[in-house]
């Protein structure tokens, strides 16, 4: 089985954005060292435009070949006129309201989200599935998340959009697999789920 990895940017207090989901305050940490790391280690998870900006638009996929995001997150690209924001990946958007996909490279999942994700995980591929967020779809898929990669920015939000929206209280244990700290105070931690 390949993994579903939720890779997400968070404040120190665990919010993925302000109450509306906006995380632009984190952009102030995009310095040379950190951007270099994103370009070399996380190119798969960058939108097409960012890959282009960093000169890695032709980089082969090394960790992921598939992305899943919620409709509200996809809307942010649509608002900028971008219908295929992660052109290097197979793209799925969860939505019960988008009846037709705006792009032939983006498939809408309207029903049985968990079942569809399980089927994707069961596919024979060396590369994993990138759960991009946001909060709502992450909450809906919490039981399916096999790996967490948290890009933790040294900012406290006080309140905001949680990492897993709408999830019921339940303790789930994860095992720390790597930590990388940067000069700007950003820390990237990776965890595998204990099954
Ligand atoms: N910090 C980060 O790394 C990061 C990463 C990604 C996103 N974000 C932020 O997260 C915010 C968006 O998060 P969000 O929680 O509002 O929305 P979201 O998770 O992106 O999308 C929620 C939508 O997904 C669809 N959906 C959810 N569960 C579903 C299911 N079981 N079956 C079918 N469709 C389902 C629904 O779409 P319909 O309403 O169309 O049915 C729902 O309204 C954005 O502001 C973005 O900036 C932050």
CATH code of the domain in which 67 resides:
3.40.430.10
Average pLDDT, whole number, for the chain? 97
175 lines ligand 1 (CB under 6 A): no
Domain count for the chain: 1
Residue nearest ligand 1's atom 13 by CA = 134
163 lines ligand 1 (CB under 6 A): no
**Each residue's pLDDT tens digit, 8-34:** 999 999 999 999 999 999 999 999 999
Q: Domain containing 34: what range? A: 4-193
72 lines ligand 1 (CB under 6 A): yes
**Each residue's pLDDT tens digit, 32-50:** 999 999 999 999 999 999 9
Confidence of residue 99 (pLDDT cuts 50, 70, 90): confident
Separation of alpha carbons 92 and 24, rounded Å: 24
137 lines ligand 1 (CB under 6 A): yes
């Amino acid at each position: 089985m390949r993994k579903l990895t939720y890779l997400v940017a968070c404040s120190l207090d665990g919010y993925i954005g302000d109450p509306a989901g906006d995380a632009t305050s984190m952009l102030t940490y995009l310095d040379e060292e950190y951007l270099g790391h994103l370009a070399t280690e996380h190119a798969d998870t960058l939108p097409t435009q960012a890959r282009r900006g960093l000169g890695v638009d032709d980089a082969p996929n090394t960790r992921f070949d598939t992305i899943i995001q919620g409709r509200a997150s996809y809307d942010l690209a649509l608002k900028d006129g971008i219908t295929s924001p992660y052109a290097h990946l197979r793209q799925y958007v969860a939505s019960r309201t988008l009846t037709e996909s705006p792009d032939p490279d983006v498939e809408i999942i309207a029903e049985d989200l968990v079942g569809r994700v399980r089927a994707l995980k069961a596919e024979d591929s060396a590369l994993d599935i990138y759960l991009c967020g946001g909060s709502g779809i992450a909450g809906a898929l919490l039981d399916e998340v096999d790996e967490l990669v948290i890009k933790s920015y040294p900012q406290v939000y006080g309140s905001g959009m949680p990492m897993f929206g709408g999830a019921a209280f339940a303790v789930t244990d994860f095992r720390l697999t790597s930590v990388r700290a940067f000069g700007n105070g950003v820390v990237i931690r990776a965890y595998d789920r204990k099954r």
